[in-house]
Amino acid sequence: MTGAAWQAEQFEQHRGHLRAVAYRMLGSVTEAEDAVQEAWLRLHRNGEDGIENLRGWLTTVVGRVCIDMLRTRQSRHEEFVGTWLPEPVVAGVGSEDDPEQAALLADSVGLAMLVVLEMLSPAERLAFVLHDMFAVPFDEIAPIVGRTPETARQLASRARRRVRGAPEPDADLATQRRVVDAFLAATRAGDFSALMEVLDPDVVFRADSGGRARLPLAQLDGAEAVARNALANGSRWARWCRPALVNGGWGCVVVAPGRTIGVAGMTVSRGRIATIDLVLDPRKVPSRDEINLDGENFS
Q: What pLDDT score does 191 carry?
A: 95
What mean pLDDT is predicted for residues 287-297?
A: 61
Q: What is the mean pLDDT of the chain?
A: 86
| CATH H-level, domain 3-82+113-163: superfamily | PhyR, sigma-like (SL) domain (1.20.140.160)
> Considering the chain, what percentage of its residues have pLDDT values greater than 90?
60
> Considering the chain, what percentage of its residues have pLDDT values greater than 70?
85
Q: What pLDDT score does 177 carry?
A: 96
All residues at 6 or more sequence positions from 48 whose CB lies less than 8 Å from its CB, including other chains: 7, 10, 54
- Asked if the model's pLDDT at residue 127 lies above 90, the reply is yes
What mean pLDDT is predicted for residues 109-114?
A: 89
Averaging pLDDT over each range in 215-224, 241-250, 266-275, 282-291, which range is the top one? 266-275
What mean pLDDT is predicted for residues 78-82?
A: 59
Among the residue ranges 188-192, 208-212, 268-272, the one predicted with the least confidence is 208-212
- Asked if the model's pLDDT at residue 185 lies above 80, the reply is yes
- Asked if the model's pLDDT at residue 220 lies above 70, the reply is yes
What residue ranges do the domains of the chain occupy? 3-82+113-163, 173-290
All residues at 6 or more sequence positions from 63 whose CB lies less than 8 Å from its CB, including other chains: 21, 25, 126, 130, 141, 144
Architecture of domain 173-290 in CATH?
Answer: Roll (3.10)
